[in-house]
A and B are shown apart, each in its own frame.
Chain A
């Protein structure tokens, strides 16, 4: 066998070993027809094409990610529709192809087995794809593998058509098929046998009803709208210090939502070989009045799959703004920097004798000063690592040095990595077998930060778009504007406030209601629960649960390993919490005899509170439908029942808290910045606080249940500014002089 070639028979065997089926001639013909049709449309006047720019290598580094709580899975967007420019936007689903009628799920379907619920909440069917939104709830933490060495279930769901054909979840369902079986072979990531498997649900589909919202995705730069609507947009290449560098930022598509806009665009560059643009921070949007415009990353819209991004020459992005009080045009700015590769006229070689048998962790300190191009760099050390290679530590005082390439002459690296911070650069190389003896460390290239800049563009919406009401929710007691004018708590009021802080270190602080007499009562702890009468505090330490009398400061420790989410029973004889003695689930600790009873097994329950008679515990868990469920568990029997879903609740942590009289549950809204109140007997949730700050980081009921205590993260008070809210009268006060995440309030 020659150096690089195999006999023809062997090559053919390798091809066959990959077991590739023949390509369907129908597919080839159909796709060719589509492509040629598309080729023809490209040449029609007015067809939106990407701007003609020379395209150069660019490494995209910005990642727009939005975390989603719960387990909600649906199909990916298809670029196919994007190229056809027949895109629509379905709120909560994302971008879909709309050139054919859309079908939806006739009604949600769910199945519960052994406390685990699988639910299919919604589905959207188009001519080219299927998107099924399903979720799972009630899976105990013990069902998941501990650590990375063990893999849980990786089987993917699929559907079975009436004729028995199984197909991928995202595959288009034939237009004459309106009923399928959804199959989830096993709950994702779970261990075999830990929870029920082979879930099957029958799904039925109907045409999307007239009220089903599909918003058009419109071109931001090419007028495609009725006469009289003239979008204005411009793009400016920010002047750069490097004469040959060009980059631009464009808003390319827009979706008009009920309360604002979703903007889709891209950062594109026109750079010579060896240069690229790197986004270095988050975008900033300001309006014509110079005010910052808040934005979010819509979790249901991915940046369009720009063909140029496939080649690393464009970074697509998507942002959502709400049109409240925005003076257009808005200016979008992306901070970035230009990275340039510099090849050394002659490579630097640094010899190092590592001996015949270097050990993992063995370090050679060189502190060798080297001049690389115009940069002074010090090769501080070389360490034999655990990946059959070496890690090289460099230091430099020049902050414009971005990266170096490092090689070992004569040794072919099979992997590597790097990283560092300003002034320090670590490079690692791994090999099939670690090179030994005299290593010639070779540096032939470096990368420098040639310029930093801000790319910007301006955009204005179509003038005729009528946004939904711009006034704050009239039902809400307070918003950011009215919160800023609240009076302080009357000086005659006496009381105690318990907060937790992280700066300068984790600690629990007690203060009087006027913000004075502050003192640390639990250094190192992060969350405490105030007893119903406000005379004792409970918190978790490494030793166990600490019960501290706030009057005489006596401490009692219940030894053991405990989790959190502590909650006192109304009679203060018991404390509930989550996770104890190495077991997952809600536990109840009897303070009279120290006995611990376990009531549930999930491990991530968030306790909201006790019923006034102490017979039930209320807690919240993520539901299967992008919501949080409030559940109740009988303390005596351990029987758990659903109460209701907390509508519009935070997907991260709703912080649900039950009022002492058991009539209300308060919780944090989806934006983590609003406050809702819902009657426990049922009924709609009422918005109490409408985006009063940046986020709510603490929510408690005052011990007598007359007020809700809220700590609010603001720009001025990042630890949390404290407020008392009386929701029935919409009266509120600010607590002065003390900040932190609110753990408890007592006002005798």
Chain B
């Protein structure tokens, strides 16, 4: 966890929905409130963006773009919508724009194959996680996006529905199918 004199992430997760509404309103004239909002979401936005582009520098840049965009547009945010859905809609748009502007989408992390490991990577892969990663890679892009939004961005199904412009029931059904399939694959793996 990072050092900061404002709330750490454990405190931030305790913020209720109505607290967040207040935060957003006050963020327009109180930088401290904006800072709280930022701290609440920055890691989740980074996780989502990195999962799409696979490069730390690119993910950091796109995360920065997302928050800059959110800052500019904060006065226009409608409080009857979900801030998380709004923010991740911006993040998705930034990522799609990034891919549109690149001719190729080869993830730069393939450089690791040349012996240059990403010095920031600290993930320890268990056998189970490795198998799960393989099954996730075999999902459709739509299914992977559901998993990203649900588990990396930690947003609700209602918020996912807002981001994907689908009904909440459709999102729940799709998620249930995907999770059931992963669960079944993992059970077979351990037979």
Contact = CB atoms under 8 A, between A and B. Distances in A.
A15 B75 CA distance: 33
Interface in B127-173: 128-130, 132-133, 136, 142, 147-148, 151-152, 157, 170, 172-173
B72 A24 contact: no
Given A1-B179, A18-B148, A311-B90, A25 B2 contact: yes
A100 to B, nearest CB: 16
A235 to B, nearest CB: 18
A155 B147 CA distance: 27
A171 B57 contact: yes
B90 A28 contact: no
A30 to B, nearest CB: 9
Contact of B73 (A36, A39, A308): A308
A39 B57 CA distance: 24
Interface stretch (A76-84, A526-534, A581-589, A659-667): A76-84
Contacts of B25: none
Contacts of B75: 52
Nearest to B47: A20
Nearest to A308: B73
| Among B72, B86, B133, B176, residue most surrounded by chain A Cβ atoms (within 10 Å) | B72
Contacts of B86: 311
B53 to A, nearest CB: 10
B86 to A, nearest CB: 8
A335 interface: no
B106 A166 contact: no
Contacts of A24: 56, 60, 120
A69 interface: no
Contacts of A11: 151
A309 B94 CA distance: 10
A667 B173 CA distance: 61
B132 A310 contact: no
Contacts of A31: 38, 42, 60, 63-64, 67
B151 A14 contact: yes
B73 A311 contact: yes
A29 interface: yes
A370 interface: no
Contacts of B176: 3-4
A180 to B, nearest CB: 15
Given A4-B176, A80-B61, A310-B94, A17 B129 contact: yes
Contacts of B31: 36, 39-40
B7 interface: no
Q: What interface size band does chain A fall in? A: 35 or more
Q: Identify the interface centre among A16, A18, A188: most chain B CB within 10 Å of its CB.
A: A18
A186 to B, nearest CB: 10
B54 to A, nearest CB: 9
A335 B181 CA distance: 49
Contacts of A32: 35, 38-39, 42
Contacts, number: 184
Contact of B2 (A13, A21, A28, A414): A28
Given A31-B42, A38-B71, A307-B72, A4 B123 contact: no
Contacts of A20: 46-47, 50-51, 123, 152
Nearest to A5: B179
A14 B98 CA distance: 25
Given A14-B136, A80-B68, A22 B34 contact: no
A341 to B, nearest CB: 13
Contacts of A156: 102-104, 106, 108
A6 interface: yes
B122 interface: yes
A253 B42 CA distance: 31
Interface in A145-190: 154-156, 158, 164-168, 171, 188
B77 to A, nearest CB: 9
A659 B65 CA distance: 55
B19 interface: no
B151 A15 contact: yes
Contacts of A29: 2, 4
B114 A22 contact: no
A439 to B, nearest CB: 18
A155 B4 CA distance: 40
B129 A35 contact: no
B179 A6 contact: yes
A21 B46 CA distance: 10
A18 B142 contact: no
13 contacts: A10-B183, A16-B123, A16-B125, A20-B46, A20-B50, A21-B120, A23-B46, A32-B35, A83-B72, A307-B69, A308-B76, A309-B93, A310-B73
Interface of B: 2-4, 31, 34-35, 38-39, 42-43, 46-47, 50-51, 55-58, 60-61, 63-65, 67-73, 75-76, 86, 89-90, 93-94, 97-98, 101-106, 108, 110-111, 114, 116, 118, 120-123, 125-126, 128-130, 132-133, 136, 142, 147-148, 151-152, 157, 170, 172-176, 179-180, 182-183
Given A10-B183, A155-B104, 14 more contacts: A3-B172, A11-B151, A16-B126, A21-B123, A27-B63, A29-B2, A31-B42, A35-B71, A49-B72, A76-B102, A83-B72, A166-B116, A168-B55, A188-B103
